[in-house]
Chains A and B, each alone.
Chain A
């Protein structure tokens, strides 16, 4: 048997199964990009009444920022997950199926923002972002990460752990951005579901670890995002705000701490 033909390098011969000690000084790719997720159930499913004022606001501020919009799924994604769970299909299949709806929503946003430079992109077009920004475009893509059939089985149930919140967060992390924005229909995070409990209290600022340790039954953001935030290299905070209130997007992007800030603690 021949010996292995190895290329000499700092990792030559390493089994790469974890625990490698390597020197590393990270370079942020495009830290100035502001990644904003437009909620599916919370914004898109409200149709014209919610979306048109928000798009108008985006049009007004688009030249002050480099905006990358991502989209959530909403009720059609819930319908897909519900049918797939009834059929007892694996999580990876739900993740692949769950990708179709946010992609539709991204296309809808693109049609409405076309005049303002809205451009639809697939995750495979990620490396074209510098071009889009140089042209003054507003790139719009699904919030769903491209894991699809390769999504891990969930701890419990079948719903994929990485959906459009996680994908949006990971997009910002890949770009090296410090903050990432989630446009929803509530004033951020509450200690209970404000749609079901009128006495629920809003939390203006909370650490990701602290939030996870509270073990809340429900959250406004995917749990995986909180876990990623605790060990992210670049993203330091996420902001969840009510995009149904005119001016909120402008204020949030200007750095005002409206809604809820979840930070790396």
Chain B
């Protein structure tokens, strides 16, 4: 039974954090433990690129939809997410020209991702997809247990409260990061990003013909020597450092049939980035 304690002008509920300052480093340490509960551990999060896949229209999307349907038939437990693509870039360009604040820009961009979620849902509905809104977070187990393919929001709902970026006015927390953190909070082990390149390169392969594909690397190696041109949000790698659950991020080419299925089967296609014990 919890006790109520008074005597210093305040009424406290007895707990290990009672009367404590939550800024106190020793108090923060006390809330640490090596383990963390896994909420939905046996799913894989699959992020489909907006710019890389959606903006290519039917020639890229329809085969990918077929592949996702096959993956569902093969009983892969997947949570899907999508990027916003060129409309996000246009939104940002206009918003920057207008001088809108960073938080205001963050408030706007999610709508363009949602359009792609609706597109994907229209194509996948007959295979059991469903768009999950932020307020329906706890319906995920319902969808997954009934064999559906939930499409979750990808831009994190930081909205007007987007923290000031380290550099420039653009919000730093994009859809790759949002999907990563979604997987992490639910205790998932793997995130697969479907893009239009074979994986992560040492520089942008669209601009440099001699860019080299990095087939396998670790988070530690990437953090030590981050390519200047990246295929995923920088924030994802920064956040992964302190993450507890996600062990592997894989990038596959969704324009090549079979790559996503192979990745879901555990094959090391594309780029596989792992987090090793030494990377923390």
A14 within 8 A of B: yes
B167 within 8 A of A: yes
A233 to B9, CA, bound (A): 38
Residues of the B chain whose Cβ atoms lie less than 8 Å from the Cβ of A195 = 8, 19
Q: Place the interface of chain B in its size category.
A: 35 or more
Partner of B160, one of A91, A151, A152, A174: A174
Give every chain A residue within 8 A of B23 (Cβ-Cβ).
Answer: 218-223
Q: How many angstroms from the CA of A72 to the CA of B229 in the assembled complex?
A: 41
Alpha-carbon separation in the docked complex, A25 to B8 (Å): 49
Contact residues of A between 154 and 184, Cβ < 8 Å to B: 154-159, 162-163, 166-167, 170-171, 173-174, 176
Q: In the complex the two chains form, is A150's CB within 8 Å of B156's CB?
A: yes
Query: Once bound together, how far apart are the Cα atoms of A33 and B34, in whole Å?
Result: 44
Least CB separation from B22: chain A residue: A159
- Selected from B31, B184, B230, the residue in CB contact (under 8 A) with A17 is B230
Q: By the criterion CB–CB under 8 Å, are A4 and B22 in contact?
A: no
Q: Mark A205-249, 1 if CB is under 8 A from B, else 0.
A: 000000000000111111110001001111000000000000000
- Which of A79, A156, A223, A233 sits near B15, CB closer than 8 Å? A79
User: Smallest distance from the beta carbon of A198 to chain B beta carbons, Å?
Assistant: 14
Q: Which of B28, B102, B161, B233 contacts A157 (CB 8 A)?
A: B28
Cβ of A201 within 8 Å of any chain B Cβ, yes or no, is no
A18 at the interface (CB under 8 A from B): yes
Contact indicator B158/A146 (Cβ below 8 Å): yes
A167 touches B161 (CB 8 A): yes
Question: How many angstroms from the CA of A92 to the CA of B186 in the assembled complex?
Answer: 9
Are B185 and A16 neighbours in the complex by a CB distance under 8 Å?
A: no
Pick from A1, A218, A223: contact of B56, CB below 8 A: A1
8 Å CB contact of B182 from A22, A150, A159: A150
Whether the pair B13, A79 counts as a contact (CB closer than 8 A) is: yes
The distance in angstroms between the C-alpha atoms of A226 and B102, with both chains bound, is 18
Chain A residues with CB under 8 A of B196: 1
CA distance A24 to B94 in the complex (A): 11
Q: Of B51, B57, B168, B255, which one neighbours A24 at CB under 8 angstroms?
A: B168
**B270 contacts A by Cβ under 8 Å:** no
Q: Chain A residue with minimal CB distance to B100?
A: A27
Confirm or deny: A255 has a beta carbon within 8 angstroms of a beta carbon on chain B: no
Q: How far is the CA of A231 from the CA of B167 in the complex (A)?
A: 9
B interface footprint on A1-39 (CB within 8 Å = 1, 0 otherwise)? 111111101111111111111111111110000000000
- Given contacts A11-B93, A12-B86, A173-B103, is CB(A228)–CB(B169) below 8 Å? no
Q: A252 to nearest B CB, angstroms?
A: 21
Give the nearest-CB partner of B106 in chain A: A174
Q: A10 — which chain B residues lie within 8 A by C-beta?
A: 93, 96-97
Contact B159 A146 (CB under 8 A): yes
Given known A-B contacts A6-B86, A88-B37, A1 and B57 have beta carbons under 8 A apart: no
B171 to chain A, nearest CB (A): 10
Closest to A89 in B: B37
Quick one: which of A2, A18, A146 contacts B59, CB cutoff 8 A?
A2
Q: Decide: A153 and B231 in contact? CB cutoff 8 A.
A: no
A49 engages B9 (CB within 8 Å): yes
- Contact pick for B21, options A3, A6, A92, A218, CB 8 Å: A218
CB-defined contacts of B20 to chain A, threshold 8 Å? 78
Cβ contacts under 8 Å, B86 to chain A: 4-7, 12
- Among A16, A87, A153, the one with the most B-chain Cβ atoms within 10 Å of its Cβ is A16
Q: Does B225 belong to the interface (CB within 8 Å)?
A: no
**Are B31 and A157 interface neighbours, CB within 8 A?**
yes
**B87 CB, nearest partner CB in chain A, Å:** 7
Q: Do B30 and A157 have beta carbons less than 8 Å apart?
A: yes
Interface residues of B (CB under 8 A from A): 2, 8-13, 15-26, 28-33, 35-37, 39, 51-52, 55-60, 85-90, 92-94, 96-104, 137, 156-170, 172, 174, 176, 178, 181-182, 184-185, 187, 196, 204, 228-234, 239, 242-245, 255
